[in-house]
A and B are shown apart, each in its own frame.
Chain A
Amino acid sequence: MNRNCVPHAKSVRHDIGLRRRYRAERRFRAYGALAICTGLFFLIALLWSVFSQGYTALWQTSITLPVRFEAAVIDPEGERDKKPQVLVTANYPLLVRNALAEKLGVSSEDRAALREVNRMVSPGVRVQLRKMMLDNPQLVDTTQTVTVLATADLDSVFKGQVDLAVPQTSRKISDRQVEWMHRLAADGSLYKAFNTGLFTFADSSRPETSGLGVALIGSLYMMLIVLVLSLPIGVAAAIYLEEYARKNRLTDLIEVNINNLAAVPSIVFGLLGLAVFINFFGLPRSASVVGGLVLTLMTLPTIIIATRSALRAVPPSIRAAALGLGASKTQMIFQHVLPLAVPGVLTGTIIGLAQALGETAPLLLIGMVAFVANYPVTPMDPATVLPVQIYMWANEAERAFVERTSGAIIVLLVFLAVMNVAAILLRRRFERRW
């Protein structure tokens, strides 16, 4: 076969182009390796792009200050006992500004400097201090140590994401503010803390006070609805089609339908949800219940297909044994076949849920893009979900929102990873070779 094997014989054979053919072989193989490398390269590029931009979102620059709750600022007229409204409308940011100015040694006459001091602290302190005050009105005229958030701009500078070589007129933070920042950082009152707000705050127009709180609750509600509806319905449909249904036109139609539904563009399900659940049944827009129903319809094919293959994998001997001992067909299926198929069913369910968790397009159409500032209490309340929150933040222009968006994507990917790993472990743990 090989030329080297017959060194002595004079080559009488025609050249069959082995060299050329081996070259083609190597080339072909290299193409394949190259294709795999391309795929892996993009996987790494994508993950790296998200993580490198997003991991900083897990920390947030905070400033700890002794703030004096001056009665002269909160309640200049001295009428808070009669009008509790005063405590709600008081100018709380002024308290923080004064505290910070005092710490930095800025004179209370220097208006320009005071404005710059004010721009270092997030306007979100108004809500924060108001809550402290309303919870405990005794705080008036006491000094409390308060940790407040820095503005997103200062946060970016402190994290080193802003090029300070740019002339200060064309950036948001002036040289003076940078110097103050370093002074505060040196004495330990300005520091990076773990960003709990990312997980607890509702949406906001300011990057530093916006978080995923509402989106996490909305996603949780939707996943629960999807699980509660699609698991029993999907399993029931799969059992019927796999075990009971006779092969006829109707079951054929159902099967084609299921396969087709798995491939229908997701946005079409959004149109269905809008027309049927919102306009026809009158369910509220932006509510997690509508989203849950739409995602249920999308998840059903996945669960049905997974359950059917799990049922098919249970060997006939189990069925024969059950029937032989006098079980009815229904008893055989529910007491013997289905329990053995549970790991497969659960794996399929988790994968279906993971798909539903990342789904965005249909939810845009049923009004989940609403700006929701309050926690939803029931699934009927307006809410948003993780991927839609990511979409909304991705459309914001500010630099700090890119960081938040990436951070939110990391949160989403972590959830998906956990679910998929759970599915894989489940499969490994309970997989049985018959």
Chain B
Amino acid sequence: MYRMNGESIFVVDGHVHFWDGSKENHRNERWAESWIHSFYDLHKLSPEENTWPLEKYRKFSEEDIMHDVFEVGYVDKAILLPVSLNEFYKNGFSTTEGGAALAGKYPGKFIVNGRFDPRDGDEGLKRFAEEVKRYDIKGVKLYTAEWHGDSKGWKLTDPMSKRYLDKCAELGVVNIHVHKGPTIRPLNMDAFDVRDIDEVATEYFDAGLRFIVEHCGLPRLDEFCWIATQESNVYGGLSAVMAFIHAKPYYFAECLAEMLFWLGEDWLIFASDYAMWQPKWLIDKFMAFELPEEIKQKVGVDLTLDAKRKILGLNAAALYDIPVPEEARLPLEVPA
């Protein structure tokens, strides 16, 4: 809970990791090493005092995440999103099992998300269904640019992907987080392309699926906004966008204003991408942040305290049925 002038702000961190980028976990030395280095370059967009040495960043402890996210980071509930990268790391980079083990030790703190990869076929579909039941999964993180044998990526509209989405709808896995990652190799498609989300969002609307596009589709913010404005079940996950707030606050303001205009304050989800960035400084800066007057005028939006409440916690709480303490609910949210 973030508290300020007698106000209580409920915080859900929509995207955290408990990863293992240590050398012991390398499967493919070159890719694994390059991966963590690119991650580290992103981390260095943080304020200097919130930057770790690379060695700590490779693999941090349980105490670190509990301290940074919950003890000092204001977070009430954190959503663990896996990133497998099994071709790079022996035990995966950030896994559902690892997340579940951590969550089991600290009841009530985490929501554990699963994953699927349509290229795992029927066998994988069976395993996925078992995993959903075992860990009581309500959401998945999909990483469409991930390598898998000879394939360097996939699309949500692939026939096998739709069979997995059908299974999600059947099992109540309603929150589909999608990361449109970098094209890791030249592909016969553009892995940043967000248009496949458009099609599945429409197709699975009645089935109750919601698509949370991580990093708001960066670097395709424009295309993401055009899709999200048409589809009421498409949300923007703010990780990476949030990091602008320190290094380039004016651009953060411009991006956020556009998203407030095209999506609206009910469709944006705060996320730190911990340990990429730490929630404490992001939230401190976000709560102190105001849109510059000229941007407000030009775009015709405002970032009110209620908008901040929604973005920091209430929107994600609604997606994941997380109970919000009475003190932190919106003033209008009085039960009839």
A and B part of one assembly: no
